[in-house]
Structure 1
Amino acid sequence: MTAMTEVEKHLRKSRNRKIKVEKGVEKAKEERGIMLVITGNGKGKSTAGFGNVTRCVGHGYKAAVVQFIKGKWDCGERNLLEKLGVPFAVMGTGFTWNTQDREVDISAAKIVWEQAKVFLKDPDIHVVLLDELTYMLSYDYLPKDEILDALKNRPREQSVVVTGRRASAELIEMADTVSDIQDTKHAFRAGIKIRKGVDW
């Protein structure tokens, strides 16, 4: 029996992979919106969420964005997407280590959450990005049951993307897809300043 050549090995692996993928495609019968959670200590969670929004808009669907924690400073994604008609609701108080005022942060979170609930009830919105929502639960700024109920009862065809560190067990359980972005290396720790157009 002769050993297979590298070309033959590659062809066999490719065929097996193709069969596996086709079986997966055949198995996927349900069509509906999904919930994605992008969590972990690594960089790029919000960036990934905005990628979903951009993809959505690129296909001609409507999207909406809610930014918790983030401030009202210049935001490249917002600069682009608002021009394309994507509505934004921004908490606007900035990072908690800057405000250092829990009551102000909670008040701002409640205002933005009211707009988020409107987005989460609108069947015309294909994708809703809830950027940094995980902190609203871990900091106990918003009622957990109310958040989970709104996510669970959104329109069937609507997808939602939740970003932020330390996603709660309830969010992970509810999600259809969870990505855990790890922090292997970060330029900031090497003394390199954040860069406009890359980091923000």
Structure 2
Amino acid sequence: MSEPTDRDEIDRHNAKMAKKKAARDKIMAGKTEERGLIIVHTGKGKGKSSAAFGMIFRCIAHGMPCAVVQFIKGGMETGERTLIQEHFADACPFYAMGEGFTWETQDRARDIEMAQAAWTKAKELIADETNRMVLLDEINIALRYDYIDIAEVVAFLTEHKPPMTHVVLTGRNAKEELIEIADLATEMELLKHPFRSGVKAQAGVEF
């Protein structure tokens, strides 16, 4: 029996890929619905806000109006905020309404007041059907500390979100009620982080 040739290997590979493509095309043919999604980024790993801002920049690139409400990090400058405010403010209004993490502010009443104001602005932006995507950055932190009522958030998103509007919610420890109504939920898993080796947060990586 003759040994397989390179041509035999190529033909087998091509036949295998053709079967995969046919199966994939069949699956894709049945995916015809288009609608606004509820998207949750959570978990202890880095990248939740980074991935969310990646989608915001995609929307901007496609000429799709969008908006950002920042719940916790508003007290610090970030590269995403600077870029959007200086170059894409017309396409994507950016509302930095937090004043820092709760251990920094040390004022729960003030934290609640700011979170409530941010949620009021978020509802206004989501209800505006011209916005194709609204990012609620670090809202999960505000929900975790009960600065905002999770039942109210779930009710608003399920009952009042326009059909074609995407809403992205980021932050650790997403409430189960939020994950249940999400169309897409991703948990970022922490494998390694330079902070544990004594490396501080750095521009371009962390903010």
The answer to whether TM tops 0.5 is yes
For residues 116-151 of structure 1, give each alpha carbon's deviation from its aligned partner in whole angstroms, at most 9, with x where no partner exists.
010110100000001111122211111222111221
Select which of 68, 80, 98 maps to 1:92.
Answer: 98
Q: Which runs of 5+ in 2 are unaligned?
A: none
Residue pair 2:98, 2:115 contacting (<8 A) in 1 also: no
Cα drift, residue 19 of structure 1: 1.9
Cα drift, residue 31 of structure 1: 1.3
Secondary structure at the aligned position of 1:179 is classed as strand
Cα drift, residue 29 of structure 1: 1.7
Q: Please show how residues 154-165 of structure 1 align to structure 2 within 5 Å.
A: 154-165=161-172
Greater CA drift, 138-147 or 116-125? 138-147
Secondary structure at the aligned position of 2:52 is classed as helix
Q: Which runs of 5+ in 1 are unaligned?
A: none
Select which of 80, 102, 110 maps to 2:116.
Answer: 110
The aligned residue for residue 107 of structure 2 is 101
Which amino acid letter does the alignment assign opposite residue 191 of structure 1? Answer: G
Q: Percent identity?
A: 44
For residues 49-96 of structure 1, give each alpha carbon's deviation from its aligned partner in whole angstroms, at most 9, with x where no partner exists.
000100001000101001111132211101111221211222231011
The aligned residue for residue 198 of structure 1 is 205
Mapped to 2, the partners of 1:99 and 1:9 lie a distance apart of 63
Q: Which protein shows a greater Rg?
A: 2
Secondary structure at the aligned position of 1:142 is classed as coil
Residue pair 1:71, 1:95 contacting (<8 A) in 2 also: no
Greater CA drift, 32-41 or 49-58? 32-41
Superposition RMSD on alpha carbons, in Å? 1.7
Going from structure 1 to structure 2, the CA distance change for 1:17 and 1:100 (only over 3 Å counts) comes to farther
Residue pair 2:150, 2:177 contacting (<8 A) in 1 also: no
Which amino acid letter does the alignment assign opposite residue 150 of structure 2? Answer: K
Secondary structure at the aligned position of 2:27 is classed as helix
The aligned residue for residue 18 of structure 1 is 21
Runs of 4+, deviation exceeding 3 Å: 1-6
Secondary structure at the aligned position of 2:73 is classed as strand
Residue pair 1:120, 1:150 contacting (<8 A) in 2 also: no
Cα drift, residue 35 of structure 1: 1.3
Instruction: Say whether residues 1:188 and 2:195 are aligned partners.
Output: yes
TM-score, structure 2 as length reference: 0.90
Secondary structure at the aligned position of 1:25 is classed as helix
Q: Please show how residues 7-156 of structure 1 align to structure 2 within 5 Å.
A: 7-82=10-85, 83-85=87-89, 86-152=92-158, 153-156=160-163
Going from structure 1 to structure 2, the CA distance change for 1:39 and 1:6 (only over 3 Å counts) comes to farther
Residue pair 1:40, 1:165 contacting (<8 A) in 2 also: yes
Which amino acid letter does the alignment assign opposite residue 19 of structure 1? Answer: A
Aligned length: 200
Cα drift, residue 14 of structure 1: 1.8
Going from structure 1 to structure 2, the CA distance change for 1:53 and 1:8 (only over 3 Å counts) comes to same
